[in-house]
């Protein structure tokens, strides 16, 4: 009630593609004939029924997903991943976006910590995010130093160069996590066994990332989690781009002249020298 959360009931059932016909109509004197391919295949439907815990006036919500064949663990996880994308698309701020993603994705990916990051699409530099469920603030400077100065396995620039920007630290290091300075200095001292990274991007570029970890006493991340994480890359990237802070005008990005707080123009440190006009 305090978090104004949705209570969701999820179930899956099979559907036969054979028609069930009790009676039909035909012209008088003609025997009715029903034609069907008699396809014995089945379809599966996963449906979620949601009720808002604090606002009964919003009414129940029903969402369903229909697929041919049978549902398995991976397909059900993809359904829940799609629910996370839909929840994020309704957010009105970056904070609401990450809160919605964590709320819906936690039962699916079963992470114990999750750091949510926004990045500059051109430089991949950290521009903010939500770290309340991530590393302690005292560890953040060293974490950023590893990410942007030293470099490590599965850093953001490495993920950005891949067709699917999702990976586990254990898989990248072939199971030898001690090869990662990020794991030695940050993850292991906090009692976490692995790290799952997801770079959120769309066709315009990367806009953020999710960095998730599991405790030592939890089961390891596996292929189902990688599958649903990969399905979140583009829908969440597109939703986050809509909420991303606007970039500076082109002239300001080029570093020519920007107004100072006192109203006087000044040159940025990396400004290029102005060429004389003839």
Give the span between the Cα atoms of 134 and 214, in whole angstroms: 11
Q: Looking at beta carbons, which pairs linking 173-178 to residues 24 or more positions away fall under 8 Å?
A: none
Instruction: Quickly count: other Cβ atoms within 10 Å of residue 194's Cβ.
Output: 20
Whether residue 225 is predicted with pLDDT greater than 70 in this model: the reply is: yes
Give the span between the Cα atoms of 271 and 252, in whole angstroms: 10
Q: How confident is the model at residue 162 (pLDDT cuts 50, 70, 90)?
A: very high
The tokens for 21 are: 């016909």
Among the listed residues 159, 147, 232, the one whose alpha carbon sits nearest the alpha carbon of residue 197: 159
Average pLDDT over residues 55-80: 72
181 vs 153, 187, 248, 260, CA distance in Å? 9, 9, 34, 40
Average pLDDT over residues 209-222: 90
Structural domain contains residue 30: no
Find which of 4-13, 48-57, 66-75, 211-220 is predicted with most confidence, using mean pLDDT.
Answer: 211-220
Instruction: Quickly count: other Cβ atoms within 10 Å of residue 148's Cβ.
Output: 15
Average pLDDT over residues 163-192: 89
Helices (H), 30-184: 73-89, 94-109, 140-145, 156-160, 169-172, 181-182
Structural domain contains residue 12: no
Average pLDDT over residues 79-97: 77
* Residue-level pLDDT at 275: 44
The domain tally of the chain equals: 1
Q: Residues 200, 237: contact at Cβ < 8 Å?
A: yes
Average pLDDT over residues 254-261: 40
* Percentage of residues in the chain having pLDDT higher than 70: 77
Average pLDDT over residues 8-17: 76
Structural domain contains residue 97: no
Structural domain contains residue 129: yes
Residue-wise pLDDT tens digits, 43-59: 788 777 877 766 667 66
Whether residue 122 is predicted with pLDDT greater than 60 in this model: the reply is: yes
Q: How confident is the model at residue 21 (pLDDT cuts 50, 70, 90)?
A: low
Question: Could you tell me which residue, 151 or 6, shows the higher pLDDT?
Answer: 151
* Residue-level pLDDT at 54: 67
Average pLDDT, the chain: 77
Average pLDDT over residues 9-33: 76
* Residue-level pLDDT at 248: 45
In this structure, is the dihedral angle defined by the CA atoms of residues 55, 101, 84 and 237, taken in order, positive or negative? positive
- CATH code for position 181: 3.30.450.40
Structural domain contains residue 207: yes
Give the span between the Cα atoms of 221 and 113, in whole angstroms: 13
Instruction: Quickly count: other Cβ atoms within 10 Å of residue 166's Cβ.
Output: 21
Average pLDDT over residues 69-78: 70
Structural domain contains residue 10: no
Q: How confident is the model at residue 139 (pLDDT cuts 50, 70, 90)?
A: confident
Give the span between the Cα atoms of 202 and 158, in whole angstroms: 17
| Boundaries of domain holding 132 | 110-243
Across 22-31, 166-175, 176-185, 241-250, least confident range: 241-250
Give the span between the Cα atoms of 61 and 38, in whole angstroms: 34
Question: Could you tell me which residue, 18 or 236, shows the higher pLDDT?
Answer: 236
Residue with tokens 């199971």: 175
The total number of residues shown for the chain amounts to 278
Across 19-28, 34-43, 87-96, least confident range: 34-43
Residue with tokens 């104004």: 4
Structural domain contains residue 266: no
SS3 of residue 87 by DSSP: helix
Give the span between the Cα atoms of 47 and 63, in whole angstroms: 6
Structural domain contains residue 121: yes
Q: How confident is the model at residue 34 (pLDDT cuts 50, 70, 90)?
A: confident
Among the listed residues 59, 98, 110, 78, the one whose alpha carbon sits nearest the alpha carbon of residue 10: 78
């Amino acid at each position: 009630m305090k978090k104004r959360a949705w209570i969701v009931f999820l179930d899956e059932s099979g559907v036969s593609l054979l028609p069930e016909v009790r009676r039909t109509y035909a012209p008088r004197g003609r025997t009715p004939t029903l034609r069907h391919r008699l396809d014995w295949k089945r379809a599966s439907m996963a449906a979620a029924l949601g009720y808002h815990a604090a606002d009964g006036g919003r009414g129940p919500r029903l969402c369903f997903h229909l697929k041919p064949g049978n549902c398995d663990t991976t397909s059900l996880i993809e359904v829940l991943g799609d629910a996370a994308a839909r929840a994020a698309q309704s957010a009105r701020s970056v904070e609401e976006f990450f809160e919605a993603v964590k709320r819906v994705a936690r039962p699916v990916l079963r992470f114990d910590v999750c750091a949510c990051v926004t990045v500059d699409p051109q430089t991949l530099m950290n521009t903010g995010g939500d770290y309340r469920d991530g590393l302690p603030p005292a560890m953040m400077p060293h974490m950023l130093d590893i990410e942007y100065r030293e470099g490590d396995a599965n850093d953001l620039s490495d993920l950005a160069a891949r067709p699917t920007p999702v990976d586990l630290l254990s898989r990248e290091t072939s199971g030898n996590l001690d090869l990662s300075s990020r794991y030695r200095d940050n993850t292991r001292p906090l009692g976490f066994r692995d790290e799952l990274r997801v770079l959120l991007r769309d066709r315009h570029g990367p806009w953020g990332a999710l960095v998730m970890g599991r405790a030592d006493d939890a089961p390891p991340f596996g292929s189902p989690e990688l599958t649903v994480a990969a399905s979140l890359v583009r829908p969440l990237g597109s939703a986050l781009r809509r909420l991303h802070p606007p970039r500076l005008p082109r002239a300001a990005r080029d570093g020519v002249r920007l107004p100072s707080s006192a109203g006087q123009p000044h040159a940025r440190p990396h400004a290029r020298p102005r060429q004389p006009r003839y």
